[in-house]
Amino acid sequence: MLHMKKIALLGSTGSIGQNTLKVARHLSEQIQVKALAASENIDLLEKQILEFNPDIAAVYNPEKAKILQERLPRRKILSGAEGIEAVATYSDVDFVVSAISGTQGLRPTVAAIRAGKTIGLANKEVMVSGGEWVVSLVEKHKVKLIPIDSEHSAIFQCLNGENPKTIRRIILTASGGPMRLFSDEQLENITPEQALNHPNWKMGPKVTIDCSTLMNKGLEVIEAYWLFKIPLNQIEVVIHPQSIIHSMVEFKDLSILAQMGEPSMLTPIQYALTYPERAPGLLSPFNFHKNQTLQFFEPDLSRFRCLALAYEALKKGGSLPAYMNAANEVLVQKFLHQEISWQQISLQLEQLMDKHVPFQLNSLEAILYVDALAREEAANSALSFAK
């Protein structure tokens, strides 16, 4: 029997947040939603508050928070970064789901770690930007970090009960995104609509574009490096278009464990929330007769440069992964606003990274400084490039 988990959900109106609440609804006798935080979608947040009845809620946008407070005068609605942090550190919570995308999720996640909460991590940027420093905080405060990303959840499950010293390699699977089979000519003329049309997963726009460039997989390589303390040369990426195998671990004896199932975030979210136990799931049982083909290909690093750039950023270390991550966020937005082409995301990113001189990051302030610097330089670079 699972004991009652009291959760705070950072990013409740995003795709991970909504799926987390589906799991909470499904396991209502084991999961109690005590605190919710969202960026600005107050219409959806209002519905969530009325359904789940949390003690507190927060809206990052102060104006939207004010409107929501007027709509729900008897509820405690907080605002801004401080409000999000208050949700992340709320005293009556033992488990925090970190699902605010981008670097905006870094500060509240760090606050939750310092408050001794168990973290369900769905925000790659925390480990990509914070890496070494965040890991040292996790160890200092003796908190559990449970990955929610499907790939890292898969590795986490495959390593359950195994000796980490027997790992030969970690194999992260990637769908290859919607442009895997595009010709060079087609890659030159990709529209945001095409890049947002992911064949297997329903995610937010930023993550979906990152999937199309393979940057998402690059961020996952960096995250796996810090989460599992595995040397970079033992982390591989394989293109697996069906997204049935979510990742694999190969051991010294050359035995491979793979975690597989339908491509849905509901399973890894539920596993994180119920860990170390398991509970009945929401999906239909897997049908092997309808899934007769599993394919695997090597990623093309010359056409999908972002994955190579992520490996490079981790090799050089220091502030470069944080810089790369923030610059990429800006360039993705530029592409979505049709200010640069899809190919220019990686071209510009490479130019920006080449100019950055990495330095050691040993505080939240240092990470946020690099983040702001990268955003400014990427914004200016994108404008000059577009002209």
pLDDT tens digits for range 111-131: 999 999 999 999 988 999 999
Percent of the chain exceeding pLDDT 90 equals 86
**CATH number of residue 335's parent domain:** 1.10.1740.10
pLDDT of residue 291: 94
Q: How many separate domains does the chain show? A: 2
- 6-18 confidence digits (pLDDT tens): 999 999 999 999 9
Q: Residue 54 corresponds to which amino acid?
A: P
Verify that 102 and 142 share a domain, yes or no: yes
Verify that 355 and 291 share a domain, yes or no: yes
In angstroms, the CA 338 to CA 326 distance is 19
- 43: three-class secondary structure by DSSP: helix
Verify that 182 and 100 share a domain, yes or no: no
Residue 45 domain boundaries: 5-147
On whether residue 337 sits in a domain, the answer given is: yes
- Sign of the torsion formed by the C-alpha atoms of 110, 105, 39 and 97: negative
The residue from 102, 118, 147 where one domain ends is: 147
On whether residue 230 sits in a domain, the answer given is: yes
- 173-214 confidence digits (pLDDT tens): 999 888 888 888 898 889 898 888 876 666 778 888 998 999
Verify that 185 and 95 share a domain, yes or no: no
- 265-278 confidence digits (pLDDT tens): 999 999 999 999 99
Helix, strand counts (H, E) of the chain: 16, 11
Q: Residue 78 corresponds to which amino acid?
A: L
Verify that 326 and 363 share a domain, yes or no: yes
Q: Residue 367 corresponds to which amino acid?
A: I
Over residues 147-170, the mean pLDDT reads 97
Verify that 235 and 332 share a domain, yes or no: yes
Verify that 133 and 182 share a domain, yes or no: no
Verify that 180 and 203 share a domain, yes or no: yes
On whether residue 249 sits in a domain, the answer given is: yes
Structure tokens of 142?
Answer: 């003796």
pLDDT of residue 387: 43
The residue from 147, 173, 205 where one domain ends is: 147
Whether the predicted pLDDT of 253 surpasses 70 = yes
pLDDT of residue 294: 96
Verify that 305 and 173 share a domain, yes or no: yes
On whether residue 270 sits in a domain, the answer given is: no
On whether residue 317 sits in a domain, the answer given is: yes
Which pairs from 27-31 meet CB under 8 Å and 24+ separation? Answer: 27/2, 27/270, 27/273, 27/274, 27/279, 29/4, 30/2, 30/3, 30/4, 30/5, 30/274, 30/279, 31/4, 31/5, 31/7, 31/273
Verify that 173 and 194 share a domain, yes or no: yes
pLDDT of residue 177: 82
Report the chain's C-alpha Rg in angstroms.
20
Whether the predicted pLDDT of 167 surpasses 80 = yes
Verify that 15 and 142 share a domain, yes or no: yes
Over residues 81-85, the mean pLDDT reads 97
Whether the predicted pLDDT of 139 surpasses 70 = yes
pLDDT of residue 1: 57
Verify that 158 and 109 share a domain, yes or no: no
Q: pLDDT class for 384, splitting at 50, 70, 90? A: low
Whether the predicted pLDDT of 23 surpasses 50 = yes
On whether residue 13 sits in a domain, the answer given is: yes
Which residues lie closer than 8 Å to 273 by C-beta, 6 or more apart?
Answer: 5, 7, 20, 23, 24, 27, 31, 95, 97, 120
**CATH number of residue 76's parent domain:** 3.40.50.720
pLDDT of residue 3: 77
Structure tokens of 242?
Answer: 């069906």
The residue from 97, 131, 147 where one domain ends is: 147
Pairing of strands 245-251, 256-260: antiparallel
On whether residue 222 sits in a domain, the answer given is: yes
On whether residue 277 sits in a domain, the answer given is: no
The count of residues in the chain is: 387
pLDDT of residue 367: 96
- 338-371 confidence digits (pLDDT tens): 999 999 999 999 999 999 999 999 999 999 999 9
Over residues 360-387, the mean pLDDT reads 86
